[in-house]
Amino acid sequence: MSNKGTKSLTFYLMIILVFGSLMYFVVKKGESQQPNEVMTSLHGTPGNLGEGFAVFQQLFLHHVESPLAILLLQIIVILLACRLFGWLFMKIGQPMVVGEIIAGIVLGPSILGYWAPELSGFLFREESLANIGILSQFGLILYMFSIGMELDINVVRKKLKETILISHTSTIAPFFFGMLTAYFVYDTYADKSTPFLSFALFIGISMSITAFPVLARIIQEKGLTKSHLGTITLASAANGDITAWCLLAVVVAIAQAGTMLSAVYSILFSGIYILFMFFAVRPFLRMVGHIYHNKEVIDKGLIAFMFLILIISSYFTEVLGLHALFGAFVAGVAMPDNMKFRKIMTEKVEDVSLSLFLPLFFVSTGLRTEIGLLDSPQLWWMCGVMTLVAIAGKFGGALFSARIVDESWKNSLYIAALMNTRGLMELVVLTIGYEMHILPPPVFVMLVLMTLVTTFMTAPLVSLIRFCFKTRDKRIEERTQAPQEGVFKVLLSFGRAGNGQVMLDAAYQLFSKGRNRLNITALHLTVGSDVNPLHTDNFEEVSFGPILYGAQKLGIPIKTRYEISNNAGQDIVDIVNNEGYDFLMVGAGISLSNLPTDVVVNRFRTFFYDKYFKHFRAPQSWFYPGALLKDKTKIFIENSHCPVGVFVNRYFVKATNILVVTASEDDLFLLEYLPALLKSTSGSVAFLNTASSTTPGVERIKASLGEFTDGVKQSRILPDKDLTPELFGGYNFMLISYHTWNDVSEHRKKALQRMPSTLILSKKTNKTGHL
């Protein structure tokens, strides 16, 4: 240690010693002045450890049952349950919201309260539920604000002529059928103190809601966002949502006012408020959006101002009798049209509202959903009737109105299936009706189950429609699209934006000098169904920026493709097989990266697997990088109909010194890639044969390699030896087969630590038979 470091350490120790002594002196002097009773209560009887622990235990139990501790424990349990169920339902192709609704019901009286009443009573005691209710309502305000921002009024206005019939028919038809159902069930199921008009209006509005956010994410997952079908459906849902929320505001106003005249006044003042928001506040906010449209200039003061507008808007609609959520929705719609501004605001709002507050709402709803209230066949029959009425009104209204505006049967069925989803938006409506004592508990339970069924059925129904029309569409495509002769189609699938440009350089060197014209498509997938549609354009811009710049430098055309996926591996395979690609190149990710941050992550995962999880027989792919790559490539290798290359980026620039590793006769297909590669890079190639003298076909391997080196001057065969870290010195690119790679990565891991950029290739004949 230097003299400077020694002096600093000495001074630090002196400071600790001096001030520690002074504090001890002050404490002792202070204790000498306090009464003996206080001294005894603080320190207890000397040597009585058992009594001290009993006091600690008593204080611990007291703190465990404090209101704040109970609330924090509730939030922990709710978040874990919602994430677990959301993840499970995503795995079966369902929106996460379905799993979160189920999680709320599981934690409620129907499951946890029935099977573990003591645990449920401790966790969700009656006096603590008010805290969850307030937090969930605040979360809903933030969520409705973000929903309003997601609605692009300009798109709705442009598509109004095309969508007004679909959106309004799919809203009015179920609304009427809901009111008709209410007429037949009012005497039996409604509370006698509830006016028929309020009851009928709430049953009608609950039948007519469409969950715009869930619908938008399903369209994303199906890759329909930029298609005619996706645009029409999104615009219809947005238009219908605006109509439904305006109807809900009127319904709430009528229900709370008590008399029609009072409701007229509420609606009148609400109309004045909405006009003020759109003709006074919105123009001002539009100007703000033009000035402040990036993160650099948006400060905390501006964010606080926007949240103040949200709270004031919610407050006004609450005191006018329309409910605070309507004000939050209007505030979101009134936000500046500038999409960059809206993206920044939704990022700040959604992370908190979706991740923290909304799960509280799902559980708050689940605690009210006591399925045991449906304790007779008649009640279950009525639940089924309400579900069928909701489906018939929404699905039928959307289907026939879409056909009237000349949509095909396929598109009409798609629109009807998507518009029938309800999700979280429906729960919001039901919660308002329940809190206003308009919907009695049994009817509330029926409508919650209807919400689950209609949301759950959307994804399977869309898949069924796609399957039914798939064969016909395939025949039409085969008749109308002639096969592309003389074209070599390559799909580059990458995660990190920087890797896309590097993979493009590698693909260009591999295939640009081949016999066929090169056609490259860059694919980037965002994994997860909860991606906000507002952010996808930004994701595309960031992800494809480097590869488009690289394509411009190389002077080659390139197509880009961005999609949302819940199963990236299978979706990539489907794209490759269904669209006739000749070669698939995928990135190896961080598993074999030599970037310092990735190396630390890999060491961390390996350490934890070897030390802890190995004993529990956890899959190696959870923590061990080599196994992760093996599992990843296995999906592509085994299921793709074309050759696959897994690219390991080790600061790749250009393949000038190439190493080809062979271990069996099956590896000779690697030679097919070399002529075009050497022609485009003017580099050299060296062959390393790791096959033993007893390996079948070893003589043919040597003969084939010798024949190649005789015909290519810049090639040579290395002496037969095993792979070592020192061997890779001087090489900047390696070709190896998938079979040999698995053997090397399992038995010679240390050697791979110093390997150059590598392309791991599978042996499979493409549709053209050549590169």
What confidence tens digit (pLDDT) does each residue in 274-290 have?
Answer: 889 988 888 888 888 77
Comparing 298 with 461, which gets the higher pLDDT? 461
Between 589 and 393, the more confident residue is 393
Does position 62 have pLDDT exceeding 60, yes or no? yes
Categorize the per-residue pLDDT at 623 as very low, low, confident or very high, splitting at 50, 70 and 90: very low
The whole-angstrom separation of Cα 215 and Cα 197 is 30
Strand partners, 645: 585, 761
pLDDT of residue 529: 56
Cβ neighbours for 291, distance < 8 A, ≥ 6 positions apart: 297
Q: Distance between CA 353 and CA 139 in Å, rounded?
A: 5
Identify how many contiguous H helices and E strands the chain contains and give both numbers.
32, 10
What pLDDT, on the 0 to 100 scale, is given for residue 268?
A: 86
Query: What pLDDT does residue 41 have?
Result: 53
Label residue 183 by pLDDT band (50, 70, 90). very high
Least confident of 54-58, 257-261, 364-368, 703-707: 257-261
Is 142 a residue whose pLDDT tops 60?
yes
DSSP, residue by residue, 483-552: --TTEEEEEEE-SSHHHHHHHHHHHHHHHTTSSSEEEEEEEEEEE-S---GGGHHHHHHHHHHHHHHHHH
Bridge pairing between strands 583-587 and 684-689: unpaired
Instruction: Give residue 43's pLDDT band: very low, low, confident or very high (50, 70, 90).
Output: low
> Does residue 614 register a pLDDT over 60?
no
Q: What is the pLDDT of residue 627?
A: 41
Average pLDDT over residues 297-325: 85
What pLDDT does residue 730 have? 81
pLDDT at 182 over 90: yes
**25: helix, coil or strand?**
helix
**Hey, how many other C-beta atoms are within 10 angstroms of the C-beta on 769?**
7
Give yes or no for a contact between 324 and 317, defined as CB atoms under 8 angstroms apart.
yes
The confidence band for 629, taking pLDDT boundaries of 50, 70 and 90, is very low
Q: CA–CA separation, 706 vs 696, rounded Å? A: 18
pLDDT of residue 107: 92
- Residues 443, 581: Cα–Cα separation, whole Å: 54
- This prediction's pTM: 0.70
What's the pLDDT score for residue 496? 79
Q: Is the pLDDT of residue 209 over 90?
A: no
Tell me the pLDDT band of 77, cut-offs 50, 70 and 90.
very high
Residue-averaged pLDDT of the chain: 80
pLDDT score for 545:
86
Q: Are strands 657-662 and 644-648 parallel, antiparallel or unpaired?
A: unpaired
φ/ψ (deg, to 5) at 195: -65, 145
Report CA-CA distances (Å) from 45 to 35, 41, 51, 52, 627.
15, 9, 8, 9, 60
pLDDT for residue 64 is more than 60: yes
Q: Which residue has the higher pLDDT, 712 or 75?
A: 75
Stronger pLDDT, 518 or 343, i.e. the higher one = 518
Does the pLDDT value for residue 618 go beyond 50?
Answer: no
Which of 2-6, 34-38, 148-152, 387-391 reaches the highest mean pLDDT?
387-391
Mean pLDDT on 203-223? 79
Average pLDDT of the residues in 332-339:
82
Nearest partner of 230 among 411, 405, 494, judged by Cα = 411
Give the residue-averaged pLDDT of 376-387. 93
The DSSP H or E segment spanning 559 is strand 558-565
Mean pLDDT of 373-377: 89
- Cβ burial of 480 (10 Å; 0-12, 13-18, 19+) is exposed
762 falls in which pLDDT band (50, 70, 90)?
Answer: confident
Res 621 pLDDT > 50: no
The pLDDT value recorded for residue 180 is 94
pLDDT of 696: 72
More confident residue, 637 or 13: 13
Percentage of residues of the chain with pLDDT beyond 70? 83
Residue 536 has what pLDDT? 61
Question: Which of 237-251, 256-270, 448-462 is the most confident on average?
Answer: 448-462
3-state secondary structure 71-133: HHHHHHHHHHHHHHHHHHHHHCCCCHHHHHHHHHHHHCCCCHHHHCHHHHHHHCCHHHHHHHH
The pLDDT of residue 395: 93
Burial readout 28-54 (b: 16 or more C-beta within 10 A, e: otherwise)? eeeeeeeeeeeeeeeeeeeeeeeeeee
Contacts of residues 557-561 at CB distance under 8 Å and 24 or more positions apart, as own/partner, are 558/504, 558/520, 558/521, 558/522, 559/519, 559/520, 559/521, 559/522, 560/521, 560/522, 560/524, 561/521, 561/522, 561/523, 561/524
pLDDT(481) > 50: no
Question: Does the pLDDT at position 715 exceed 80?
Answer: no
Instruction: Report how far residue 686's alpha carbon sits from residue 661's, in angstroms, rounded to the nearest whole number.
Output: 9
Q: What is the pLDDT of residues 511-552, one digit of tens each?
A: 887 767 888 999 988 776 555 555 566 667 777 888 888 888
Predicted confidence band of residue 10 (pLDDT cuts 50, 70, 90): confident
* Sheet strands side by side (includes 733-737): 558-565, 517-527, 487-493, 583-587, 644-648, 757-761, 733-737, 657-662, 684-689, 715-717
- Range from 264-273, 438-447, 616-625, 751-760 carrying the lowest mean pLDDT: 616-625
Return the pLDDT at 480: 40
Q: What is the mean pLDDT of residues 131-141?
A: 88
Average of pLDDT values for 145-151? 82
Cα separation of 206 and 73, whole Å? 33
Q: What is the pLDDT of residue 475?
A: 47
In sequence order, the 6+-apart residues with CB closer than 8 A to the CB of 224 are 230, 233
Residue in the structure block whose two tokens are 């106003």: 253
**pLDDT higher at 90 or 153:** 90
Q: How much is the pLDDT for 753?
A: 75
Q: What's the Cα-to-Cα distance from 209 to each of 178, 237, 745, rounded to whole Å?
A: 11, 9, 55
pLDDT of res. 598: 47
Q: Kindly indicate the confidence band of residue 689, based on its pLDDT and cuts at 50, 70 and 90.
A: confident
- The pLDDT score that the predictor gives to residue 679 is 77
Dihedral Cα 412, 414, 420, 422, nearest 10 deg:
-140
CA angle (751, 583, 634) in 5-degree steps: 50
